[in-house]
Structure 1
Amino acid sequence: MNFRIGSKSILIIPLVIIVGLFHSCRSADENTALIKNLEGAMDSIKTAFVPDRRVQIFDFNIPADGTRITGRSSNQEAYERVHLLSKKYPELDLDSFEFVQPIDQALINVSVGNMRSNPKHSAELATQILMGQEVTVWDKKGSWYYIQSPDNYLAWIDAGALVFPGKSELETYHQAEKTMYRNDFGFCYEEANTESPVVSDLVAGNVLRVTGRQTPFVKVKLPDGREGYVPDDELRLLKDIAQASLPDWPQIKKTAYQFMGRPYLWGGTSGRGVDCSGFTKMVYYLNGMQLPRDASQQVHSGIDVPLDDDLSQLQPGDFLFFGERRENGKGDRITHVGIYLGDGKMIHSSERVQVQSLRPGDPDYVAHRRNTLLSARRLILDDSLAQGVELLKNKPEYGF
């Protein structure tokens, strides 16, 4: 580009060309080393501030020329640390690395919402979420939304499972009297009789607004405003759950056995099917408590219980964790969880929800489980909850 000042012609070189020339001066080895250093720095930031990408956002990309870092994070500290890289690499373009915030709040509008690893129906089932639960919306691609469940899990869900009530309507929802469906499966009917048309199917854990009563039915409103009737004996008011004392072992055991024979489903956390941690999570959820979603997260809840050969330190209700013992200082890889029943037996979801033994000689002994038992945790301590377990009444996202 030429400009004439008086009798002289001056060549103006665009900044982008200068930057390009600067980077082109690097040898291939220098460029490779730079990208490796940048990737290492980003990985260090991720490890320090977003160690679990299942519950926080941290995505980045470094192009082959090493001129910029693109991406996003929902963690403010991680975002700030990324931008501090400009002090060490002043030529690095960081304008496209963004701090992201939620774009909306929504309610689950179907009995079971399937959250997937990618925005398409053929993607892996990451987890499930139940009707009446509130989610945080982070992103949208086509007809899919990137949401965060009340237990902080991030995944994609199709638009048909959501309703967007708006701020004022959501506040009304928070204050309304609500009830939880308690049976394994059931229906909401148009009229106060079971012969009338179905408004929606229901599963244990669904939350509905109460709008009236017509004994022996309760009139309810679904998140999108549809109304219908559900038998009263299949429901329990959320205020009764919130006011109840902590469940004892017999109650937890009863809930666990409610799932007996239910099929194993990777990502399942509902009556439709459960994986190992989806099973333990649902047992606690139906008793008014929240656990982290996955076994590798649940293992950090509660207090440690020593393991010996005869399992003598365990109590019924303790969580048992299984997996791979790692060496060289690396953390154990947790892949499975079950609930201890006593007498060497546990109930867990493996092929189906079933009871099996960890004691050699028992007819239902499972050697590979005994050989991969890594740790045990106690989540309920007398009349208090251990760290990592929360009461649903303190989590309005569940409808309380």
Structure 2
Amino acid sequence: MQFGICHLSIVPLRSEASDKSELVSQVLYGEHFKVLEQRKNWSKIRLAFDRYEGWIDNKQFLLISEEQYKNLEQQELELSGDLVEFVTKDDTQELLTIPLGSSISGNAILDFSYDGQIMGGIRPKDKIIETAYMYMNSPYMWGGKTPFGIDCSGFTQMVYKLNGYKLFRDASQQAKQGEALSFIEESEAGDLAFFDNDEGNIVHVGIMMSDNYIIHAHGKVRIDRIDHSGIFNVDTKKHSHKLRVIKKVI
């Protein structure tokens, strides 16, 4: 078994070993992982944080030792708390821009220094919406995890991650976490709302706010109304998503 760490800002994680393959997620600076299979140009990896799997270009990560991987697993996760910041390579003073939610825990391995805001540990539930606002107007991008492009479950996962909580990567996986609520009235700001399609598959997720509002990624990270039917788009004046369940994870 081999192990790796991402030493670049935002690296695509693809469904197959090809640049033309579907973007299923992204690997942010400092994220570490297991290398499950290595080919000439691509490697299949499993991220340590959420065990999500995909293919990454061999030129876009560094191999690390098993001991370094285990040390990272034992450290408390420290994440960059600014929309955009930079790390400085200690020996050459080169700069590398990093997005919100990048991991600073592996800077000693990567030989970089960071002086920006750090978010770590478990924060109170009332910080969830405050963090969600940092992604406002981020464009929707399938597989995205940053303010420069993010999908619905990437948004919820990163907001929770920045507050010290673990969510799985995809909406259908996240829907299996937490405790189901019977009514919208039982929910509180920071709970997760899930939405299904005509076949009954979970296809969307957002974060509940107070007073029957929801913040979610749909076209962009936006705030809409929510009722017992689902999300009511404040621009189109139509329902855009059908409510399936609200879950209390925290």
CA–CA distance in 2 between the matches of 1:354 and 1:323?
Answer: 19
Quick one: distance in 1 between partners of 2:232 and 2:221? 22
Q: Give the aligned partner of residue 348 of structure 1.
A: 216
- Letter of the 1:280 counterpart: T
Determine the C-alpha separation between the residues in 2 that align with 1:378 and 1:175: 27
Structure 1 residues not aligned, in runs of 5+ = 1-102, 211-219, 327-331, 381-400
Which deviations, in whole Å up to 9, do the C-alpha atoms of 1:102-144 show, x marking residues without a partner? x311112212221001111121101112222221111122210
Over alpha carbons, which structure has the higher Rg? 1
Change (3 A) 1:190 1:129: closer
- List per-residue Cα deviations over 1:366-387 (Å, max 9, x = no partner): 53335x111111111xxxxxxx
- 1:274 corresponds, among 150, 153, 161, to 150
* 1:177 to 1:118, Cα distance in 2 relative to 1, 3 A: closer
State the distance in 1 between where 2:221 and 2:143 align.
14
Aligned match for 1:318, one of 185, 188, 191:
191
Identity rate, percent: 28
5 Å-filtered alignment, 1:3-152, equals: 103-150=1-48, 151-152=50-51
> Secondary structure at the residue paired with 1:301?
coil
2:136 is matched with: 260
**Amino acid in the other structure paired with 1:183:** D
- What is the alpha-carbon distance in structure 1 between the residues aligned to residue 191 and residue 158 of structure 2? 15
Instruction: Report Cα offsets for 1:263-322 as digits up to 9, x if no partner.
Output: 111001123311000000000011111101111111111111113xxx323322221111
The 3 A distance-change label for structure 1 pair 142 and 340 is same
Distance in 1, matches of 2:6 and 2:19, equals: 17
Superposed displacement of residue 173, structure 1:
5.2
Which residue of the partner structure matches residue 333 of structure 1? 201
How many residues end up aligned between the 2 structures?
245
CA shift, 1:362, in A, is: 8.6
> Conserved in 2, the CA contact under 8 Å of 1:108 and 1:132?
yes
Relative to 1, partners in 2 of residues 1:124 and 1:362: Cα closer, same or farther, differing over 3 Å? closer
Cross-structure match for 1:186:
85
* Counterpart residue identity of residue 346, structure 1: I
The partner residue of 2:238 within 362, 367, 382 is 367
Conserved in 1, the CA contact under 8 Å of 2:232 and 2:240? no
RMSD: 2.7
Structure 1 counterpart of 2:154, one-letter code: G
Q: Is the CA contact (8 Å cut-off) linking 2:35 and 2:45 kept in structure 1?
A: yes
Offset from partner CA, 1:319-340 (integer Å, 9 cap, x none): 11112254xxxxx211111111
Distance (whole Å) between structure 1 residues aligned to residue 32 and residue 214 of structure 2 = 33
What secondary structure does 2:163 align onto?
A: coil
Q: Secondary structure at the match of 1:207?
A: coil
Q: TM-score, normalised by structure 2?
A: 0.86
CA contact (8 A) 1:265 1:274 kept: yes
Cα pair 2:15 2:54 within 8 Å, conserved: yes
Aligned equivalents of 2:155 and 2:207: distance in 1? 10
Which structure dedicates a bigger proportion of its chain to helix? Answer: 1
**CA distance 1:152–1:344, change in 2 (3 Å):** same
User: Per the alignment, in what secondary structure is the counterpart of residue 196 of structure 2?
Assistant: strand
TM-score by length of 1: 0.56
Question: 2:102 is matched by which residue type in structure 1?
Answer: N
Residues 369 and 313 of structure 1: is their aligned pair in 2 closer, same or farther, counting only changes over 3 Å?
farther
How far apart are the structure 2 equivalents of 1:177 and 1:302? 23
